[in-house]
Amino acid sequence: MTGYLGSYATLGLLLLVGVLFLVVAFSANRVLRPARPADPLGKRASYECGIDPVGGDWAQMQIRYYVYAYLYVVFAVEAVFLFPWALVFDRPGFGLVTVVEMAVFVAVLALGLLYAWRRRILTWT
């Protein structure tokens, strides 16, 4: 498809095929599933490593676990940026500018870590 509206027609055709695929998949699921699925005793019961469940099915989660996960992601991303930078650092054309850029990047992350440490977010109590 060429011309002014050719790329829009291609995009529209792709969207139509995607929607058609979803409709066919969900329709096939509805047609091929069993009408009355088996419901053995205990199928919908909670499962805890082979022992009988203890307590209810709702548990409150502490926000600090999400903070630890977020800090892990931040420092994992830092490592993702540091390793390629360290590999190309000694090549020609990567001079003082790249050192300053990485220093600013690490300084921002260090400020974030210092903030978390000062606010006692990193204490596990």
Which one, of 123, 2, 8, lies nearest residue 68 by Cα?
Answer: 123
- pLDDT tens across the length of the chain (125 residues): 677 787 888 899 999 999 999 999 999 999 998 777 677 776 767 666 776 666 666 777 777 788 888 888 888 888 888 888 888 777 787 777 788 888 898 898 889 888 888 988 777 76
Closest by CA position to 112, among listed 69, 64, 85, 75: 75
- Residue 53 has what pLDDT? 65
